Copies of this chain bind each other. A is one copy, B any other.
Amino acid sequence: MTESEKAAAEASDAALEDFQRSGRRPTINDIARLSGVSKKTVSRIINLSPFVKDETRERVMKVIDALAYMPDLQARGLAFRRSFLIGLIYNNPSAQYVIDMQQGILDAVRGSGYELVVHPCDLSNPNFLKDVRAFVERQKLFGVIMPPSVSEDEALAQLLAEIECPYVRIASVSLDRNEAMIVTNDRNGAAEAARHLADLGHKRIAFVSGPTSFRSSHERREGFAAGLAEKGLKLAADDVVFGAYTFESGVECGAALLKRKPRPTAIFCGNDEMAAGVYRAARDAGFEIPRDLSVVGYDDSPVAAKVWPPLTTVKLPIREMGRLAAEKLLSGAVEGFTGRVIDAKVAPALVVRESTAKPAGR
């Protein structure tokens, strides 16, 4: 280092300290001035451009770190014509499901500077598409994530494509390009439940379906039927009753099934909420679980461990699904996410607790 370089370095150190004392939030101009480069070069560094000499980058980074510089997201957003926000558009009635998904998304974006904006909605609202469009366009969302059954709305997916808003859909089967899907393979989970009940020796088995407007209702039914078929059993149309994925609908469906003669010895429910409702119906009708009736749920939500006896159910890794969806969405656009999750698989798994046993008399 020559004398004159040393003097320059000292001068810039002094300027840096002056700035620190000022207490102002630094801008790209401050960083450029204090490190002796143009703001364009600072911009290149912020945006991880490879076209910066290592030495230059180090010098600038030192100033950035010393001043804890954070680029202004509004300004970047204005120039980029988009924000650093991810939208979660959902209509799932389960609070736990939504919270788990939010957590998963936040797991993925932590440290990236992106944040999560939540947008519950109602598919039956005639303004639904207009609302979503306004939401996306006003905030210039980076992209959106959609769990079922919003994810199954083709008109919405088409709208998002038209306005060029990246999205990832979470659904029980693939509905889109691989890059835009997280698939939960509900058939496999339901088939596992079927094999479990068949192996215990049950023959008269009923299925409480979710609403037919949810794709998962069909997938779980078909997977369940396929699992029974492997064991030589059949799920007749008459063995299926329809609920709404809610506790109350579970009570009603359970009560109806338990009045039948002969009554089923096992009931598979489309989700845990309805299974809890079937518990209530069984109690009201004087049946004991699992002695008189085996029950299996789906989701492994917290309620599954809180009911008595603890519920055998199919575990859906909701938080992980959220994380995978966010990683897929950011993949490519954000450093560190590239291609990592394109082939991620979600595998449902049976969790055997105490609500299933051999049927009476075996």
A83 within 8 A of B: yes
Whether B115 lies near A116 (C-beta < 8 A) is no
Cβ-defined contact, B117 with A306, below 8 A: no
- For residue A358, give the distance in angstroms from its CB to the closest CB of chain B: 23
* CB-defined contacts of A135 to chain B, threshold 8 Å: 115
Interface of A, helix, strand, loop or mixed by DSSP: helix
- Say how many copies of this protein the assembly contains: 2
Q: A72 within 8 Å of B by Cβ?
A: yes
Q: In the complex the two chains form, what is the Cα distance from A113 to B134 in whole Å? A: 9
Residues of B within 8 A of A134 (CB): 70
B120 in contact with A117 (CB, 8 Å): no
CB-CB < 8 A to A137: which residues of B? 25, 70
Question: For chain A residues 102-151, which have a beta carbon within 8 Å of chain B?
Answer: 102-103, 106, 113, 115-120, 134-135, 137-140
CA distance A272 to B106 in the complex (A): 28
A280 to B310: give the CA distance in the assembly, Å: 11
Interface residues of A in 140-187 (CB under 8 A from B): 140
Determine the distance from Cα of A137 to Cα of B68 in the docked complex, in whole angstroms.
12
Q: A150: shortest Cβ distance to chain B, in Å?
A: 16
In this complex, what residue of B is CB-closest to A110?
B131
Does A308 sit within 8 A of B, measured CB to CB? yes
